């Protein structure tokens, strides 16, 4: 049977940081592993069947998850930074400021998100002519409810962020 997952080898090379050997053991000579074997509970081994391959697979999975988290966090930080840059603009229309605050809340920890959404709610409640059906206000209220219900309350405690405050001048 020919090995068809060459992309996996490239992925493993990227995760491990070392090039794979070109002279690999043929598949017929490799020890047989069963993916459907039961998981171990609290560090107990299953009849001594733990292998170095299982430990290697676990290490690769952990590195993959860490790399994925780091990649996603970079995007969250970039989004937050761009939102802060836009909020510093004094000529930003009210409805745009409200939507940027919503975006900022979606990529922030609980306390920063709550503060941003509270400010967005204040702005949305003052948009009578621009939002006559109060769709934006309802959206911000829904986000606040979702924040309280689903977001873990970790992160830095509430801090005053000058850029969130809306000045009507």
**pLDDT tens figures, 13-55:** 433 444 444 444 444 444 444 443 344 444 444 444 567 888 8
On the CB side of 102, CA atoms within 13 Å amount to 20
* 125-163 burial: b if 16+ Cβ within 10 Å, else e: eebeeebeeeebbebbbebbeebeeebeeeeeeeeeeeb
pLDDT at 101 over 90: yes
pLDDT at 152 over 70: yes
Percent of the chain having pLDDT more than 70?
61
Average pLDDT, the chain: 72
pLDDT at 63 over 60: yes
Mean pLDDT over residues 72-90, rounded?
86
> What is the chain's length?
169
pLDDT at 155 over 50: yes
* Predicted TM-score of the model (pTM): 0.54
Residue-level pLDDT at 71: 83
Closest C-alpha to 101, from 165, 30, 53, 41: 165
Per the CB < 8 A criterion, the answer to whether 166 and 119 are in contact is: yes
Residue-level pLDDT at 156: 53
Q: Is 166 exposed, middle or buried (0-12, 13-18, 19+ CB in 10 A)?
A: middle
Mean pLDDT over residues 137-165, rounded?
76
Q: Residues 6 or more apart from 86 whose CB is under 8 A from it?
A: 92, 100
Cα torsion 11, 15, 19, 23 to 10°: value is -60
* Other Cβ atoms closer than 10 A to 87: 22
Q: What are phi and psi of 141, to 5 degrees?
A: -65, -40
Give start and end residues of each alpha helix (H) in the chain. Answer: 6-16, 52-87, 94-106, 110-125, 135-150
Eight-state DSSP code of residue 28: G
Kindly indicate the confidence band of residue 150, based on its pLDDT and cuts at 50, 70 and 90: confident
């Amino acid at each position: 049977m020919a090995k068809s997952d060459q992309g996996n080898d490239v992925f493993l090379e990227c995760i491990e940081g070392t090039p794979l050997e070109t002279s690999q053991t043929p598949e017929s000579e490799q020890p047989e592993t069963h993916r459907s074997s039961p998981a171990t509970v609290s560090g107990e081994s299953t009849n001594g069947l733990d292998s170095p391959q299982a430990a290697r697979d676990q290490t690769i999975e952990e590195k993959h998850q860490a790399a994925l988290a780091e990649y996603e966090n970079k995007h969250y930080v970039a989004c937050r930074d761009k939102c802060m840059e836009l909020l510093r603009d004094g000529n930003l229309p009210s409805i745009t400021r409200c939507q940027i605050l919503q975006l900022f809340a979606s990529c922030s920890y609980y306390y920063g998100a709550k503060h941003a959404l509270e400010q967005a709610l204040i702005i949305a409640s003052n948009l009578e002519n621009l939002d006559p059906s109060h769709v934006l206000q309802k959206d911000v209220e829904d986000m606040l409810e979702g924040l309280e219900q689903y977001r873990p309350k970790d992160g830095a405690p509430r801090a005053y962020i000058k850029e969130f405050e809306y000045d009507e001048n």
